[in-house]
Structure 1
Amino acid sequence: MEDKRSLRIVHCFRAPVGGIFRHVRDLIDAQIKAGHKVGVICDSSTGGEFAEALLADLRGKLQLGLERIAMQRQIGPGDVLAAIRTYNIIRKQQPDILHGHGAKGGTYARVFGSWLRLSGFRVARFYSPHGGSLHYDPASLEGRVIFRVERTMEKMTDRIIFVSGFEQNVYAKKVGVPRCGFALIYNGLADSEFDPAITRGDAADFLFIGEMRVLKGPDIFIAALEKASAITGRKLTAVMVGDGKDRPALTRQADSGTRFLMPMKAHEAFRLARVVVIPSRAEALPYIVIEALAAGMPIIASRVGGIPEILGDASPALVMPEANDLASKMAAVIDDIAAFKQTLPTLEVLKLKFSVEAMAAQLEAEYFAALDS
């Protein structure tokens, strides 16, 4: 990032889990390295032990503090108290940049940033959807209401930052071409994350890693594993790493060939299996796909969201997010993993497109442009 004046940057998001949390952590490290003062506001009721450890590591780095309040996923009465507390925190932090991630974080950042402006503060209001509200069906009543709110909130937005071309196109289709500033900035990895993962001798055949909820397709993975076993004529094994509200039901759905583990660092999880599977029903630009490729892991992923922008639109690694298509691909890949790996993007291609340095530098440029406009 360029050597410019130090900014006071506050990131606001709901749950400290998954891709959003990973994205924010990467930005924080890069922004602190560039000399900026950073703070975080996030939910106090989600995360678990793994998230708590990551937040504890962040706390000492954040000159503007780590503040946690109860943020519900859905809009409800609790939002009133949470909103008042969040506004008071942000007012004390006096940010130059208020960057909201996801639907709830984006709402808080833009509304409270606008209130600060009415009080005489000069603050730029940023919003990164990360999928979020864009997953709703525009034909449903709930979807129509949400997209109308999104359109209205553009008046309180200085920049919308999309993490994939797919996300940008979906926004334009469901909400409209943004009437505020916007930019496409891909997620990125640090050079240290391009170290190969060494698979353990007792590794399972397949790995699912992610939040245990319907959107991420863990149920599809379990069903496909059983079908792939039938196709190959042998019992295929799997490890599922993650937590979430659907975990109890998934453990009941799976058979004895599937082992469940709590969240851990992706690179550690990669050592547990021979092939990574991302069976998501919807995504923006998932870090886990980039991480797996950077670690040299063979990967099968749903043809959804920005995943084809990572793998290439014609990649044989792409499948539809349903059990039969996924099972056929799993059976074919496990039969000749070495040949399949030759069809995946090279490390050189990944480094050129998905660099954390490039991501942070582009975002910093957007910050300064918004403040100087």
Structure 2
Amino acid sequence: MDRPLRILQVMRAPVGGLFRHVADLTRALSKKGHSVGLVVDSLASDAQTEQRLAALAEFAELGIHPMPMPRVLGKGDLTTPLAVRKLAGSLSIDILHGHGAKGGFYVRLAHLGRRRPSALYTPHGGVLHFSPSSRSGQLFHWLERKLLSQTGAIIFESGFARDTYSRLITPPTCRTEIIYNGLGTAEFEPIAPEDRSADFVFVGELRELKGIFPLVEALAGVKRHDGLPASLVMAGDGPQRLELEERISALGLADRVKLVGSQPARDVFAQGKIAVIPSLAESMPYVVLEATAAGLPVITTKVGGIPEIFAGTTDTLVAPGDAAALRAAMQSAMDHPDALEAELALRRRRVAEAFSLEAMVGQIEALYRDVLGQS
């Protein structure tokens, strides 16, 4: 029988899909008998982050270790890799797994000059969202190329992410694997909308990249089958909330759009009939998987790994940033509920078959052992 592994996961993001992925992986690896530790950002701590980390503590046998991780560049980028290296040695770590751009940099810098622990990296979009024409993009992409020699494997959450990495940065010289994000069995329990539910729901960070402005512009022209204007619940917070509120007011939508702040996704799904995820860019968004599994039809954009999620039903995906096309898709959903339900049935079957948590964890665990055997 294979011995249990000692794994240190490193991440900066305190919320969102990346955090959810690490949390799921931590719980599942712990339940499989492995010892897991976390290195997290000490600069972005707040009450919500502390609560989420506290909920993971029982599964993080090797501890949760806050270290400074600047969002762009800062002193922590010099000190944290050294601290991760020292921590990995003191904990006898087998696998360093970095998540996101900063996590990936830190584990590979900590690996310099060593054979073990092995360093793996999952971008989660991260560095792929930096423009190669920007100074920060040029720097981060240069670092990526330099650190490939220290990388045991890169785990891409989609074929799109792998292809984008090759195009923007360089074809990887290390091993690569495409391992889709996965959902637990309970997440496939259908959610019945509340009696007084909205027509549409949005779950995501309130920033331009998530398509929030085309969304409210599109809503302005959408009507229900009874002729009344359609309504929208938007859950999440972010740096452009105030700007969004101003846009909603300017469009005269204050009585049709309800901003409810950060809430668990399934709680939000129960507040509406159709999920709208109009992102301008994505890698492999959990919210699209979650909404589909929960039994909500999804209107979303043709970006990132979303066409891989909905392989076989991509004709209705919308061009990103196109408010008119989004409005047409939302109106069609109002006008043709039977077609929407038929599409949902096909998509739920696809998500259940290809995006399970059990498959995700099993593939990552197997990769850990394979990379260790080659080091």
Normalised to the residue count of structure 1, the TM-score between the two structures is 0.92
1:34-73 correspondence to structure 2 within 5 Å: 34-46=32-44, 48-73=46-71
Matches within 5 A, 1:293-304: 293-304=292-303
Q: Give the match's secondary structure for 1:30.
A: helix
1:231 and 1:331 in contact (8 A); partners too: no
Counterpart in the other structure of 2:241: 247
In 1, the alpha carbon distance for the partners of 2:347 and 2:206 equals 30
Partners of 1:228 and 1:236 within 8 A in 2: yes
- The equivalent residue for 2:104 is 106
Task: Give 1:33's aligned amino acid.
Answer: K
Instruction: Give the alignment partner of residue 93 of structure 1, picking from 77, 82, 91.
Output: 91
In the other structure, the counterpart of 1:74 is 72
Q: The residue matched to 2:300 in structure 1 has which SS?
A: strand
Counterpart code for 1:46:
A
Q: Which residue of 1 aligns with 2:10?
A: 12
Aligned: 1:171 with 2:172: no
Shift of 1:15: 1.5
The aligned residue for residue 341 of structure 1 is 341
Q: Which moved more, 1:16-25 or 1:145-154?
A: 145-154
User: What residue is the counterpart of 1:267 in the other structure?
Assistant: 266
> What is the aligned residue count?
367
What amino acid sits opposite 2:336 in the alignment? D
Aligned to 2:356: 355
The whole-number CA distance in structure 1 between the counterparts of 2:363 and 2:292 is: 23
Match of 1:31? 29
Deviates more, 1:275-284 or 1:332-341: 332-341
SS at match of 2:192: coil
- 1:267-317 deviations in whole A, cap 9, x for unaligned? 111001111011111111111111111111010011000000011265244
Amino acid paired to 1:177:
P
Q: Distance in 1 between matches of 2:98 and 2:316?
A: 33
Give, in whole Å, the separation in 2 of the partners of 1:361 and 1:330: 38
| Distance in 2 separating the partners of 1:357 and 1:340 | 29
The answer as to whether partners of 1:227 and 1:324 remain within 8 angstroms in 2 is: no
Root-mean-square deviation (CA, aligned residues, Å) is 2.1
Evaluate the alpha carbon distance shift between residue 231 and residue 173 of structure 1 in structure 2; reply closer, same or farther with a 3 A threshold. farther
Instruction: Return closer, same or farther for 1:24/1:324 CA change in 2, 3 Å cut-off.
Output: same
Shifted more, 323-332 versus 221-230: the winner is 221-230
Residue 364 (structure 1) aligns with: 365
Deviation at 1:86, TM superposition (A): 4.1
Equivalent position of 1:131 in the other structure = 125
CA deviation vs aligned residue, 1:224-254 (integer Å, no higher than 9, x gap): 2123359996322111111121222212222
Output the CA distance in 2 between the equivalents of 1:371 and 1:321.
41
> Which amino acid is 2:170 matched to?
G
Amino acid at match of 1:36: H
Change (3 A) 1:222 1:47: farther
CA–CA separation in structure 1 for the residues paired with 2:79 and 2:141:
25
In structure 1, C-alpha distance between the alignment counterparts of 2:172 and 2:184, rounded to whole Å: 31
> Structure 2-normalised TM-score?
0.92
CA pair 153-352 structure 1, distance change in 2 beyond 3 A: same
Match of 2:291 in 1: 292
CA shift for structure 1 position 39: 0.8
Q: C-alpha offsets along residues 202-243 of structure 1, whole Å, 9 cap, x if unaligned?
A: 111111101122221222222221233599963221111111
Q: CA deviation at 1:262?
A: 2.2
Give the C-alpha shift of residue 142 in structure 1. Answer: 3.8
Whole-angstrom distance in 2 between the partners of 1:38 and 1:360: 14
Aligned residue identity for 1:310: I
2:220 aligned counterpart, secondary structure: helix
Q: Does 1:205 align with 2:199?
A: yes
Amino acid at match of 2:96: L
Counterpart among 153, 156, 174 of residue 180 in structure 1: 174
Local SS of the residue matching 2:328: helix
Hey, what's the Cα distance between the residues in 2 that align with 1:45 and 1:235?
A: 43
**Residue 114 to residue 140, structure 1, CA distance change in 2 (3 Å):** same
Q: How does 1:323-342 map to 2 (within 5 A)?
A: 323-342=323-342
Give the percent of matched residue pairs that are identical in Structure 1 and Structure 2: 39
Q: 2:17 corresponds to which letter in structure 1?
A: G
What secondary structure, in the 3-state scheme, does the structure 2 residue paired with 1:342 have? helix
Report SS of the residue matched to 2:112: helix
